[in-house]
Structure 1
């Protein structure tokens, strides 16, 4: 696709995002509205960064969540008695597990839940008939979860019932009549244009977003499957995020540390730099990670990271879509915890597995152990790099090959 055309489309999308912020600027007394504005601004800033780089790809337009936010905002403005956006509720399952459900809009003073869907109607119908890719779930699956969750969270002791308006699915791009009828049979109130059967599937935006307090570009269980399986989506492990922001990979590799493992990693970095490899891998991709990975990454950076590493971490976080923890069916069925198979690692890799996204990681031990138990994950493995900025003050500075630039002055 022509680069000038893509750049013009990016400019249009940025402008539409700015207009969207203006559109909702006067919305008051709605819980979560500031988070929605913040997320829209994050999307705009990311597109601006791509625009400035002059290296736009069609994936940047397809992956932006602005498509979803625009539909959400229109629905919010037209809804009566809206009290919250991107509100989370817990769905407790019969097996004792639980998951978080994000309701796009809570309206009618709390009596109605609204899910906004801005997907291609043909794609929705194909998923509902089992034609989707592995790991994708249909809008019917989401409908059942919404209804079950709504029953667990009655408003003023009132639970939804078939034909009630307690759970509404708003289809911004329309919905095929047959699928709309099936949703209504379940008890969902369907809003949006009713369409006859669509013969062909046209390209569609892939981002639908959700929110999670301090997380960036969050997507929930009820929505993240809509991202679909794609070769341009990467699932980041904690080890990948740490390697990307470490001082070792950003110019600080000419040190001999008191810790032998750090000195070894510095030697590896001088011989085989990790950052250029990750930069090349990340270019033009949608970066995602699960809730647990992001939580642990933030905790490690806040505890061990130096000022530059914290800055880089914040920059990286702004480019990542955080999705809920997921345990894929085959991992649940085949993997046994113990040894290299830790619960957190299983969640990280399972999330990528469920999304059909390649997991970027330095945790080769888990990958081997999982393979030995019959589960082969799609991964990109790189060498491990720890956070080192806080250790530099006690380390011996080595002279670079140029005999002029020391690693301490080479920080990015």
Structure 2
């Protein structure tokens, strides 16, 4: 293949990668992350354009970075990768001790995201395995030094601290280097299946498919390094000493209660996992984060609200002047929720999110929810709240160190750090309508496992 054709093919690969970046959903990858990737792709395209115009007879290697960018996007497209908050940027390090160990610019991490509800870092290499040495030379520091620095940064970085570091070698790894990783760092095979191929197409001027840019990742080797194995004070070991305060299974045999609470509400609550006969076993599974779902106050209110439980007709039949007197400045907010409920009932939506899960709340949510229901809830809303609380595990406020390390601001309130941080501590996603806090967290670069739901208000039902 001629040099010009090789350059043109590399440019087409860049365009294909840019298209794949654009197609990544914002629910998975933040817009700032997408813009970072697009800047890198455009930089590569500009380099190739200058190369082809300035050196038409160029015969050297073409675009060392396009394969790397393809690998990063390939990882982002995997279904098990969620909550991507940072790509292709250094993790900032601030302490004097860290600065002595690492560059003042920090440690470069290719992807900060969530896998299986736990924060992880991805380090990506698209190099030819024969150029990846263990100890390095005067030109290359070697893989061992790189891994040591990344793990040191992972231990020290409170806000973005990962549960594990994933090493992704898209072109494989030499057997000797592989064995060194296993023996010296206790690396293990990453337990998730990646798709083996990426496939993209380009068009000619007549809009017929002419080029198929497929890439195989069959030779890829992926290792996982658990950060806690190198930490002197692991959060996971502390978690086993944190007692659950209680969970009681309600008695649904009372048919009158079902009539009062509503069939939809009762059916939804019954989909939660309830372990009243074996609480010790339930505690152990909960500590390990198996099937746990953390509820914030907005989620609990959405479950018990009169709007969610058949009260829309009554609200619509109420004269506007009475509604405005009751809800005051919240009138339009409440009516918007009523119309949303008529179009898409929220208990149906929430049923798909909580079915088969063990619901948990922290003490702060427990207290706040009871206070709000007491002040603003009606008779039926109070009954639903009472039954709902009997179905949930109540845990002490125990926010993770990394969430608490975030600066407290107007958008990142201490109360929310405690609630979401407790979910993070237990490796449980938080079900929430508080998207202002979620966006503020994302802007810090932290990957935090959350699930969004539409808001609902207490109506006095």
TM range (shorter): 0.3 to 0.5
Larger Rg: 2
TM-score by length of 1: 0.42
